Structure formats: structure tokens, C-alpha cells
């Protein structure tokens, strides 16, 4: 069981290009697993973690409703945003500048075969990270992600989660609003949930946050929770 993770920081990269890279990495792992089972081999599978910041883009999960995007094609162009229907779970969300997106591409058979546990650990990674800035992140029953002020009229989501898995190999992941322009969320019904607001670390704390510092804290908690070693690729 390989508990090492290869970290790649893609900096700013187009969503479609990153999606293609994720798909390629996932398929490489799946191919090894298939060969192992067919030929009774024990070739080790790799685990990856991608950090990225996307230009403005809206993505709709496989169970999502396209009517939750409130812009037409011309309006998307005006906003310099793109739109993709993709193969993760969940509904619609936004990615853009000032947001930290993390894509763990893990062979969960190296860790545990439990998708529910995987999602909860990703949430816990973010909860512990933002706690270092004095923000109390929480889970909202039936609503994946990390929220603030759950159970009040002011509940708002600060981190969205959405994944896909194939043969216990994961892709997609989380999007933490750090210095994000929250105005772009006005053009969707985030995650298909009406009447719920979104938040960013900058808006909550009243100051711009250093993304590199946040990434370091995310990795620290991810390593501890998943009990892994992380190596820069």
C-alpha cells in the first residue's frame, strides 16, 4: 500500500486542461489496477495531489440542473467565463481567481475503501485549516462542503466539494474561497441550494489572505488526517 503522494502546483491553469490531466492520471492508476487483477501482479499505484487556480469557470456535476446557471452564452462571454458539464457529483459551482482548488487523485485502496470517510476527511482538512484563521467551519447535514454559521439564517458556504471515483480512484475535489470575487456566485444557484449564501476568507476576515500560506496549512492537515507523506513532483 503506497501512502506517498506526489504534489503538483499547477498555479493558474485552464479548467479543461486540468480536467484532462486529472483524467489521464486517474486512467494510469486504473490501468495498473486492472493489470494487477488480470495477471495476479502487485505493481504499486501512485497517488497525486494537484493544486490549481482556474480562470473564471462554472462547472455542472452529473446530477446537476443546468437551469441553476443563470447566464446565457453571450453573458458568459461578457463575464469572461466558461461553462462545462462534468463527471463529478454535485450540482453547479464556480471556480476563479483567488480560490484554492485541490484535486486529490488517490487510489483509496492504498488508504481505505470508504467514499463517505474520504469526503469527511476532506471537509475536516478545510475545517482545521480555516480554524487557524479564527473561522469556525462546520458541516451542514445533507449538504457536502464546509459552511459557516450552520443552523442560522446566515449560513454560508466557504468551501465546495465534489468528487468522482472509478475503481476506488478519486478525482475532482475541493474549492476553498480565499480571496475570491463572490459576485460571480450571483450568476448561479450554488450547488443547487436556494437561499444559501457563499463566503470567502477575505470577506470574513476583512483582509487579503496569502494563498501560499493557506496551501501549506491545507497540506499540513491533509498529511496528518490521511497519514501520508507528500513529495513535490
Q: Render pLDDT for 28-58 as a digit per residue (tens, 0 to 9).
A: 999 999 999 999 999 999 999 999 999 999 9
Q: What is the C-alpha to C-alpha distance for residues 199 and 196, in angstroms, rounded to an integer? A: 10
Inter-residue contact 230 to 7 (CB < 8 Å): yes
**Pairwise CA distance, residues 35 & 183, whole Å:** 47
Please count the CA atoms within 13 angstroms of the CA of 156 that sit on its side-chain side: 14
Q: What's 178's domain CATH number? A: 3.30.930.10
User: Which domain, by its residues, includes 171?
Assistant: 4-232
Task: Tell whether pTM > 0.85.
Answer: yes
Residues sharing a CB contact under 8 Å with residue 8, sequence separation 6 or more, in sequence order:
48, 49, 50, 51, 232, 233
Total tally of structural domains belonging to the chain: 1
User: Rounded to whole angstroms, what are the CA distances from 134 to 61, 100, 219?
Assistant: 31, 18, 18
Q: What is the pLDDT of residue 21?
A: 98
22 in helix, strand or coil?
helix
pLDDT tens digits along 185-231: 999 987 666 667 999 999 999 999 999 999 999 999 999 999 999 99
For 7, how many CA atoms within 13 A lie in the half-sphere containing its CB?
A: 16
Q: Which of 160, 191, 214, 218 is catalytic?
A: 191
Averaged pLDDT, 91-117:
97
User: Three-state DSSP class for 53?
Assistant: strand
The answer to whether residue 191 is catalytic is yes
According to DSSP, the β-strands at 4-12 and 143-148 are unpaired
Cβ pair 200, 178 in contact under 8 A: yes
Mean pLDDT of all residues belonging to the chain: 96
Across the range 128-140, mean pLDDT stands at: 98
Amino acid at each position: 500500500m503506497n501512502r506517498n503522494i506526489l504534489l503538483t502546483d499547477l498555479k493558474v491553469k485552464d479548467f479543461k486542461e486540468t480536467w484532462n490531466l486529472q483524467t489521464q492520471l486517474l486512467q494510469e492508476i486504473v490501468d495498473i489496477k486492472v493489470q494487477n487483477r488480470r495477471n495476479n501482479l502487485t505493481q504499486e499505484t501512485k497517488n497525486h495531489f494537484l493544486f490549481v487556480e482556474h480562470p473564471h469557470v462554472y462547472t455542472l456535476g452529473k446530477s446537476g440542473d443546468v437551469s441553476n446557471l443563470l447566464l446565457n452564452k453571450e453573458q458568459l462571454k461578457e463575464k469572461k467565463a466558461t461553462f462545462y458539464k462534468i463527471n463529478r457529483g454535485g450540482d453547479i459551482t464556480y471556480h476563479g481567481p483567488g480560490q484554492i482548488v485541490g484535486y486529490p487523485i488517490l487510489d483509496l485502496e492504498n488508504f481505505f475503501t470508504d467514499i463517505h470517510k474520504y469526503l469527511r476527511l476532506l471537509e475536516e482538512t478545510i475545517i482545521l485549516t480555516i480554524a487557524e484563521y479564527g473561522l469556525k467551519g462546520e458541516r451542514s447535514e445533507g449538504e457536502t462542503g464546509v459552511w459557516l454559521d450552520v443552523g442560522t439564517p446566515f449560513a454560508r458556504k466557504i468551501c465546495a466539494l465534489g468528487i468522482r471515483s472509478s475503481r476506488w480512484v478519486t478525482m475532482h475535489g475541493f474549492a476553498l474561497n480565499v480571496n475570491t470575487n463572490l459576485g460571480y456566485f450571483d450568476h448561479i444557484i450554488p450547488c443547487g441550494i436556494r437561499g444559501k449564501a457563499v463566503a470567502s476568507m477575505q470577506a470574513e476576515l476583512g483582509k487579503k489572505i496569502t494563498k501560499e500560506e493557506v496551501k501549506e496549512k491545507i497540506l499540513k492537515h491533509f498529511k496528518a488526517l490521511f497519514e501520508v507523506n507528500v513529495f513535490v513532483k
